[in-house]
Structure 1
Amino acid sequence: MRDRLDELLRAGQVDGLHAVAAVRGGQSLLEYYGAGEDFAWGDSLGVVEFGPETLHDIRSVTKSVTALLYGIALGDGLVPPPAEPLLRQFPQYPDLATDPQRARLTVEHALTMSLGVEWREDLPYNSPANAEIAMEMAPDRYRYILERPILDPPGTRWAYCGGATALLGRLIADGTGQSLPQYGQDVLFAPLGIGRFEWMTGADGVPSAASGLRLAPRDLARLGELVLGEGAWNGQRIVPADWVRATLQPRLKTGWGARYGYQWYIESIEGHRLVAGMGNGGQRLFVLPDLDLTVAVTAGNYDDPDQWRTPLTVLERVILPTTE
């Protein structure tokens, strides 16, 4: 397996690859750590020599982790179930609740990125025209999200929206009385034995539910193992099993044909069911349930239109040939 990876590295076919951690049946299949320029959000970290303990942006894989935290909080009755009206959870915006279209919004529309609002993230993340950047710059991020012009009836069309995840993060913080990092540490990371992580915050001090998490790759893979175990880890129940199943149920089709559940993508690859968290630059958490396999990939191809290529090449040409 390592020979195949080395061959691809020499051929320049996995440019920007920083690290890989693949685990099958609880046993490590492959760990690779390289070197390259890296960033924490927009701040250059220079050339980094990556190792087992090196934290890395997982960017929008954070969204999938936030969904796990939502399920834990829901199991404890601390956040509203998916069918609950969304604006009822934000009583500070009574003017928005009077709009009949917005009144139809539910928590599930946030979970499935089907709010139906105008939201463009297909622009560089250093541009204020990018909706997520505009949200970060807004005086009130939650009002900014909820007052976007409505383009589609809620629930009818998937459209990538970091703002939807930000709303979920606020519901978790409100319901638990803790910040996302505090709650994540207590109910998810510590029970999994993940000792080190960072959760970056916006200028307003709010931890980013959509893209702020930094993890070591093998700890990211551990989250995949938790999903494989339907929320159980070493005999301990961490996430309710029914929530994991609901999260990974395909609900809407993305713009490129994959299906989307609750902040997780559902696809197939070489005849195997694949569920994944995906982040800018080539960050991936691949989970293949029928192979009992999880693969975490970190890379530095931020904002590159072909950023998907490196992690997919690692999965298809390095990992899968050994597991089938």
Structure 2
Amino acid sequence: MSEARPSLFAATFSLLMCLYGSSVWGQSMEEKLSAAIHANEIAGLHATVVMLDGGRISEAYFAGEDERWGMPIGIVDHGPETLHDVRSVTKSVVGLLYGIALADGLVPPLDTPLLDLFPEYSDLRDGTAREAITVQDALTMQMGTQWDESLPYSNPRNSEIAMEMASDRYRFVLDRPMVSEPGKIWTYNGGAVALIGKLIADGTKMEIDQFAEARLFHTLGITNYEWVRGGDGVPSAASGLRLTARDLAAIGVMVSQDGKYDGRQIVPAAWLEASFRPEANIIDGFNYGLLWYVASGPSGDPILIAQGNGGQRLTIQPKARFVVATFAGNYNQPGAWEMPLQVLLDYAVPEAGRHQSE
């Protein structure tokens, strides 16, 4: 249900810096994408929305087979109001929620040991490095515990699926065997985000979907959304959010504007700065912050990425105020990350250049 192949995301983003010097194309982005789909050059694309300087400059929608949190729902004629799984983009939204709650003093500081916050699992205090795992280690996916989401999400041995099947998801996450020192090695871990979601719910006295609606979605004008719940009735912090492409793009615009939207500060700018500070190196030029991927663009300008299974992607280049949200239906397919990157570089970037040239 999540996206567990981050090493594949690395690519050159130099074209993103050409926004103000791209050639003018006669066709619109939607026309070019339609032609590419009919020529079988692009498969599985459902939607893409391009924002520049806070305004929507282009969008395109296509029909295709879709799912709702792993369950097929048939062919959907996607449009501006269609809800779509964002899958692991959910994690990055949860990161924003933690920052909002932290500023309100409702959740623990990042250096707090996790087991201090789950006293019901006192038996897990076993004298190992487990006792040293902090909130920050969960936010940066460096808990040091055994976790494997490289298996298909149809496989019960996949750690996220095993967590969903467990009688107590939080105990399952916290009692995984220690395999490294906390804070040292990055391991993709949806369970870490489940813990963060629990801390938000406990601190705010609201489930994460309710807190998101009150403090993030409402202020962004997002009224059409769904947050899918697991078998235990808890909204999935790792992958359960469903949004429209326009609303995902609105979140990107807010991030690109240092947490402000319509003149209101929604997410503290200091939290965003911390979120996009590289905390774990995945490969050269591609890092992880606080539940966000951070790529290095030309001249060191950061490119912020939230990524989800099947080709869901939110890309933000703050310096250029350039945001692209893309939805796709290539769930559980190896290389599903490639198509939204192709849409970004070959279609969205030229469209932004065309817009600037008009």
- TM normalised by structure 1 equals 0.97
Q: CA deviation at 1:277?
A: 0.5
Q: What is the distance in 2 between the residues matched to 1:17 and 1:297? A: 8
> Is the 8 Å Cα contact of residues 118 and 150 (structure 1) preserved in structure 2?
yes
Q: What is the distance in 1 between the residues matched to 2:231 and 2:282? A: 31
- How large is the Cα RMSD of the aligned pairs? 1.3
The one of the two structures with greater contact order (alpha-carbon pairs below 8 A, sep at least 6) is: 2
> Is the 8 Å Cα contact of residues 282 and 299 (structure 1) preserved in structure 2?
yes
Per the alignment, residue 154 of structure 1 pairs with: 182
Q: Are 2:263 and 1:263 aligned?
A: no
Q: Are 2:312 and 1:283 aligned?
A: yes
Q: Tell me, which stretches of 5 or more residues in structure 2 are unaligned? A: 1-27, 354-358
- Local SS of the residue matching 1:28: strand
Q: What is the distance in 1 between the residues matched to 2:331 and 2:188? A: 17
Q: What is the distance in 2 between the residues matched to 1:237 and 1:71? A: 12
Per the alignment, residue 91 of structure 2 pairs with: 63
| 1:216 aligned partner, one-letter code | T
Q: What is the distance in 2 between the residues matched to 1:123 and 1:78? A: 36
Q: CA deviation at 1:97?
A: 2.4
Q: Are 2:337 and 1:308 aligned?
A: yes
> Is the 8 Å Cα contact of residues 231 and 240 (structure 1) preserved in structure 2?
yes
Per the alignment, residue 278 of structure 2 pairs with: 250
Q: What is the distance in 1 between the residues matched to 2:338 and 2:238? A: 22
> Is the 8 Å Cα contact of residues 20 and 217 (structure 1) preserved in structure 2?
yes
Report Cα offsets for 1:268-317 as digits up to 9, x if no partner.
Answer: 35665311100000000100112111110000000110101110000110
Per the alignment, residue 127 of structure 2 pairs with: 99
| 1:138 aligned partner, one-letter code | A
Counterparts of 1:37-116 in structure 2, within 5 Å, are 37-116=65-144
Report Cα offsets for 1:241-291 as digits up to 9, x if no partner.
Answer: 100110011111126862000000011356653111000000001001121
Q: What is the distance in 1 between the residues matched to 2:170 and 2:201? A: 13
> Is the 8 Å Cα contact of residues 282 and 301 (structure 1) preserved in structure 2?
yes
Per the alignment, residue 32 of structure 1 pairs with: 60
Q: Are 2:323 and 1:294 aligned?
A: yes
Aligned length: 324
Q: CA deviation at 1:320?
A: 1.5
Q: Tell me, which stretches of 5 or more residues in structure 1 are unaligned? A: none
Q: 1:130 aligns with which of 158, 178, 183?
A: 158
Per the alignment, residue 13 of structure 1 pairs with: 41
| 2:336 aligned partner, one-letter code | Q
> Is the 8 Å Cα contact of residues 158 and 255 (structure 1) preserved in structure 2?
no
- Local SS of the residue matching 1:121: coil
> Is the 8 Å Cα contact of residues 57 and 352 (structure 2) preserved in structure 1?
no
- Local SS of the residue matching 2:302: strand
Q: CA deviation at 1:29?
A: 1.7
Q: CA deviation at 1:236?
A: 0.6
Q: What is the distance in 2 between the residues matched to 1:280 and 1:115? A: 22
Q: What is the distance in 2 between the residues matched to 1:173 and 1:99? A: 28
Q: CA deviation at 1:14?
A: 2.0
Identity of aligned residues (%): 49
Q: What is the distance in 2 between the residues matched to 1:17 and 1:255? A: 27
> Is the 8 Å Cα contact of residues 4 and 317 (structure 1) preserved in structure 2?
no
Q: Are 2:231 and 1:208 aligned?
A: no
- TM normalised by structure 2 equals 0.88
Q: Are 2:349 and 1:320 aligned?
A: yes
Q: CA deviation at 1:225?
A: 0.6
Q: What is the distance in 2 between the residues matched to 1:151 and 1:13? A: 43
